[in-house]
Amino acid sequence: EESLQMWDLNKRLEAYLARVKFLEEENEVLQAEIQSAKSSPGGDSWRAKYEEELRALRDALDHAFREKCTAELARDNLYEEVQQVKSRCQKEQAAREEAKKLLSLSRKELEEERRAQIWLKERAVQLEKEVEALLEVHEEEKAGLDQEIASFSQSLESFRCAPVAFQPVEVEDYSKRLSEIWKGAVETYKTEVSQLEGSLCQAKENLWKAVEDNQQSQLQLQHLEKDLAGLKARKEMLEESLARQWQEQRGEAEKFQVGEGGEQQPLSTVPPARVQAVLEDRQQLMHLKMSRSLEVATYRTLLEAESTRLQMPPG
Name the band, by pLDDT with cuts 50, 70 and 90, for residue 162.
very low
Summarised one tens digit per residue, pLDDT across range 87-128 is: 888 998 888 898 888 888 888 888 888 888 898 888 888 888
Q: Could you tell me which residues come within 8 angstroms of residue 153 by beta carbon, excluding any fewer than 6 positions away?
A: 166
Name the band, by pLDDT with cuts 50, 70 and 90, for residue 191.
confident
Helix (H) or strand (E) segment spanning residue 78? helix 43-157
| Domain ranges across the chain | 2-37+49-158+173-263
pLDDT score of 15: 92
Residues 30 and 315: their CA atoms lie apart, in Å, by: 10
The single-letter code of the amino acid at 312 is M
Name the band, by pLDDT with cuts 50, 70 and 90, for residue 264.
very low
Residue 247 has pLDDT above 50, yes or no: yes
Please compute, for residue 44, the number of CA atoms within 13 A of its CA located in the half-sphere on the CB side.
Answer: 1
pLDDT score of 222: 78
Name the band, by pLDDT with cuts 50, 70 and 90, for residue 165.
very low
pLDDT score of 269: 54
pLDDT score of 311: 59
Please give the C-alpha separations between residue 129 and each of 115, 133, 134, 136, 193, in angstroms, as whole numbers. 21, 6, 9, 10, 16
Q: State phi, psi for 209 to the nearest 5 degrees.
A: -60, -40
Q: Is this model's pTM higher than 0.85 or not? A: no
Please compute, for residue 54, the number of CA atoms within 13 A of its CA located in the half-sphere on the CB side.
Answer: 6
Residue 28 has pLDDT above 90, yes or no: yes
SS3 state at 262? coil
Name the band, by pLDDT with cuts 50, 70 and 90, for residue 19.
very high
Residues 26 and 20: their CA atoms lie apart, in Å, by: 10
- Most confident of the following: 35-39, 110-114, 181-185, 253-257: 110-114
Summarised one tens digit per residue, pLDDT across range 62-91 is: 999 999 999 999 899 999 999 999 888 899
Signed CA dihedral, 231, 233, 238, 243: sign only: positive
Total number of residues shown for the chain: 315
Name the band, by pLDDT with cuts 50, 70 and 90, for residue 44.
low
What average pLDDT does range 51-58 have in this prediction? 89
What average pLDDT does range 272-296 have in this prediction? 75
Q: What mean pLDDT value characterizes the chain?
A: 78
> Which residue from 298, 305, 306 is spatially nearest to 7, judged by alpha carbons?
298
pLDDT score of 312: 56
